[in-house]
């Protein structure tokens, strides 16, 4: 008799696949190791879309690691990435996995034209092709210049490509772009960011004289020839990325005149030659379909331009305006008009001030999912209003907002944003344990943010002399920094005292507003939040799904808090503890024993760590891929020698430099 009910392994395959669809890639991997049944279900093609195999800084050949291990695998992969790799003979790998690959990326790869052709010919179902930083591949100018038989094979392999990305390729020419776009007639996305495109018409006339047949040039890439390619793909092209190019007035006006062009996605970030009238003309021509717009790092975007975007682009869902220095508080009036907006990026817009809250209308937008406001000068009230207006936020970045992110703001975030997945509070050093644990925080009055301590140099104390009581003044000889350390220590003692006396705690408030209410949190950055101590780790952190955690420069974190952290957050894969001077070898032992999924560990300048910590890492961190130990002066000068048994470890950052490919050298 099964007293515990039916087994999850007995669920129908379709139900298990549906459940797996909600899992993160690493969670899916952990689930596949639960039992044989779940392992076989995880190999279903419907579960493989989340997996990307990335080969970085290695030599690839069928006969050596790591490809020889993949040849023994029964799985197949739909996404492959090659980054800074040297390519040998991989024909057996391509023969086994090529038919299932739908997405492939070449980034700074040392590869010949012949090898590149052989790889593409083996990919029968390719949909996404990315070639970035491959200057050597384009330098000769003969890429895709093959005989008729090879071209026919390549055309068949690339016929279904929907996305073509060629960013950061200095030697890309009209001829190469013409050949590759001819073989990809169905492209919907074209990325030419940071390519050397010539926009001046005189250069075009020099390489394409009047009266002569226009043969694509092998020496230059011109915008005028790019226009011809856009016209030839106007029926399918929906996304265009010309970021970090010199596109200007004439080029934008020419795009407006392309008949039948209907873009849903347009990226023009870091385009220094943009002009406001031509930009508005282009937006006017695409206003019926445009959903994604990126104008980051543009000085031409001001309040009137942003106002036009809000009024005319009714379907806009993603708007990125980071580092737009001319954008001021007046734009905030327009946010409420964009009812379909899902992503808004205003980070590093330095002209936004504390008066922005006066322009922000209190109107709920249930569609907003991601909001980026890092390094802005907005006010505390503005952030509280945002948390109330956008209750369905999954990502919130308010890092480097030094003076406005207070305990009251964090309490409002916890209260209103229960669907939050990513939260960045980097360098928000006004946050204390009171907000993270909800103890002694006034929820109605933003000005009252928990326990406060007098940090002045003059302190009053009551003294009794006989029957008389008088007030004495004591002059403190401490510096301001020393006094802050004393205040932090007193605050930490008081918080522990409150938790030890449970009768002083309103348990309903503790349950309602503690940060552990954000149960779905997966990314949490608390770097340089210097007032956070072990109290928060012990009583506030309960994140079963947390993947990334940064507590760098949190000087009050110690072994006591780490013990509870690793117990209550077992899924952490990337942990940053740089400059946490109270972290010792015992704390590292606790971390390495309990965090089985740890792949990236940063412990720079943890001055109490010794070689014993390296031994703990070597024994317990079997999944570790990257380790940083810069500034750990009590460790040996060659830490890589002590962790050679970690088969997955690829990179170690030390004072002497970065060591790559530990197990492939």
Residue pair 89/64 in contact (Cβ under 8 Å)? The answer is no
Q: Please tell me if the domain spanning 53-207+216-245 has the same topology as the one spanning 435-439+511-660.
A: yes
Give Cα 219 to chain centroid, integer Å.
37
For residue 238, give both structure tokens.
């929906």
CATH of domain 1-51: 1.20.1280
* Integer Cα distance of 27 and 136 in angstroms: 39
pTM over the 0.75 mark: yes
User: For 108-130, how does the pLDDT look when each residue is reduced to its tens digit (9 = 90+)?
Assistant: 998 888 899 999 999 999 999 99
For residue 184, give both structure tokens.
């990809």
Which ranges constitute the DSSP H helices of 98-238?
113-121, 135-139, 148-158, 174-182, 201-207, 223-232
Q: What percent of the chain has pLDDT over 70?
A: 86
Mean pLDDT for 315-322 is 96
Mean pLDDT for 137-162 is 86
Q: Which residues of 475-494 are buried (b: 16+ CB within 10 A; e: fewer)?
A: eeeeeeeebeeebbeebbeb
What is the per-residue pLDDT for 333?
81
When comparing pLDDT for 426 and 450, which is higher?
426
Band of pLDDT at residue 635, cut at 50, 70 and 90: very high
CATH of domain 435-439+511-660: 3.80.10.10
Give yes or no for residue 373 having a pLDDT over 90.
yes
For residue 175, give both structure tokens.
């001829």
User: For 491-504, how does the pLDDT look when each residue is reduced to its tens digit (9 = 90+)?
Assistant: 666 666 655 555 45
What is the per-residue pLDDT for 264?
97
User: For 516-540, how does the pLDDT look when each residue is reduced to its tens digit (9 = 90+)?
Assistant: 999 999 999 999 999 999 989 998 9
Q: Which residues contact 424 (CB under 8 A, 6 or more apart)?
A: 374, 396, 397, 398, 399, 523, 525
Pairing of strands 79-83, 103-107: parallel
* Integer Cα distance of 601 and 649 in angstroms: 11
Decide if domain 53-207+216-245 falls under CATH 3.80.10.10: yes
Q: Hey, where are the domains in the chain? A: 1-51, 53-207+216-245, 435-439+511-660
User: For 553-597, how does the pLDDT look when each residue is reduced to its tens digit (9 = 90+)?
Assistant: 999 999 999 999 999 999 999 999 999 999 999 999 999 999 999
Q: What percent of the chain has pLDDT over 90?
A: 58
Nearest Cα neighbor of 174 from 247, 97, 131, 227 is 227
Nearest Cα neighbor of 419 from 376, 390, 449 is 390
For residue 182, give both structure tokens.
């001819």
Q: What is the DSSP string of 258-290?
A: -TT---SEEE-TT-TT--HHHHHHHHHHTTTT-
Element (H, E) at 593: helix 585-594
User: For 231-246, how does the pLDDT look when each residue is reduced to its tens digit (9 = 90+)?
Assistant: 999 999 999 999 999 9
């Amino acid at each position: 008799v099964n007293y515990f009910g039916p087994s999850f392994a007995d669920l129908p395959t379709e139900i298990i696949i549906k459940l797996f669809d909600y899992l993160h890639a690493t969670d899916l991997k952990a689930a596949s190791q639960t039992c044989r049944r779940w392992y076989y279900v995880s190999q279903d093609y419907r579960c493989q879309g989340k997996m990307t195999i990335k080969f970085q800084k290695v030599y690839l050949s069928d006969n050596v690691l790591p490809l020889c291990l993949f040849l023994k695998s029964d799985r197949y992969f739909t996404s492959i990435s090659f980054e800074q790799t040297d390519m040998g003979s991989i024909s057996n790998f391509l023969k086994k996995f090529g038919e299932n690959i739908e997405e492939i990326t070449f980034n700074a790869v040392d590869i010949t034209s012949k090898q590149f052709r052989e790889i593409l010919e083996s990919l029968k179902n390719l949909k996404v092709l990315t070639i970035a930083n491959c200057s050597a591949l384009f330098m000769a100018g003969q890429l895709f210049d093959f005989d008729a038989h090879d071209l026919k094979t390549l055309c068949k392999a690339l016929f279904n490509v929907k996305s073509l990305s060629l960013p950061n390729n200095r030697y890309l020419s009209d001829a190469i772009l013409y050949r590759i776009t001819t073989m990809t007639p169905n492209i919907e996305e074209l990325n030419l960011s940071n390519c050397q495109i010539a926009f001046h018409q005189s250069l075009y006339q020099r390489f394409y004289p009047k009266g002569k047949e226009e043969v694509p040039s092998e020496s230059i890439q011109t915008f005028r020839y790019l226009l011809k390619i856009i016209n030839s793909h106007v029926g399918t092209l929906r996304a265009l990325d010309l970021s970090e190019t010199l596109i200007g007035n004439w080029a934008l006006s020419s795009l407006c005149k392309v008949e039948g062009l209907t873009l849903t996605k347009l990226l023009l970030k870091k385009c220094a030659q943009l002009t406001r009238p031509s930009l508005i003309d282009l937006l006017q021509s695409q206003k019926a379909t445009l959903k994604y717009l990126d104008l980051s790092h543009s000085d031409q975007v001001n309040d009137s331009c942003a106002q036009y975007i809000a009024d005319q682009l009714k379907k806009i869902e993603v708007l990125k305006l980071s580092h737009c220095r001319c954008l001021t508080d007046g734009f905030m009036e327009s946010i409420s008009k964009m009812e379909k907006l899902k992503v808004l990026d205003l980070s590093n817009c330095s002209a936004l001030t504390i008066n922005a809250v006066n322009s922000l209308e209190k109107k709920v937008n249930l569609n907003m999912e991601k909001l980026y406001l890092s390094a802005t000068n907005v006010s505390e009230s503005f952030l509280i209003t945002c948390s109330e207006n956008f209750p369905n936020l999954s990502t919130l970045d308010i890092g480097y907002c030094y003076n406005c992110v207070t305990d009251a703001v964090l309490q409002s975030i916890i209260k209103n944003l229960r669907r939050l997945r990513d939260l960045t509070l980097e360098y928000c050093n006004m946050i204390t344990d009171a907000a993270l644990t909800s103890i002694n925080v006034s929820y109605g009055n933003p000005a009252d943010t928990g326990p406060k301590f007098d940090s002045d140099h003059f302190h009053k104390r009551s003294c009794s002399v006989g029957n008389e009581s008088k007030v004495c003044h004591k002059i403190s000889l401490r510096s301001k920094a020393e006094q802050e350390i004393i205040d932090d220590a007193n605050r930490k003692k008081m918080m522990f005292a409150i938790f030890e006396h449970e009768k002083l705690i309103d348990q309903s408030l503790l349950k309602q507003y503690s940060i552990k209410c954000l149960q779905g949190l997966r990314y949490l950055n608390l770097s340089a939040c210097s007032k956070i101590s072990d109290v928060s780790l012990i009583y506030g952190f309960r994140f079963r799904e947390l993947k990334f955690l940064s507590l760098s420069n949190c000087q009050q974190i110690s072994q006591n808090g780490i013990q509870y952290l690793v117990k209550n957050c077992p899924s952490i894969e990337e942990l940053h503890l740089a400059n946490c001077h109270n972290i010792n070898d015992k704390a590292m032992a606790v971390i390495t024993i309990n965090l089985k999924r740890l792949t990236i560990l940063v412990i720079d300048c943890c001055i109490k760590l010794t070689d014993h910590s390296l031994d703990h890492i070597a024994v317990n961190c079997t999944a570790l891929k990257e380790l940083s130990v810069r500034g750990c002066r009590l460790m040996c000068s060659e830490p890589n020698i002590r962790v050679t048994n970690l088969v997955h470890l690829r990179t170690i950052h030390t004072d002497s430099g970065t060591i790559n490919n530990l197990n492939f050298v």
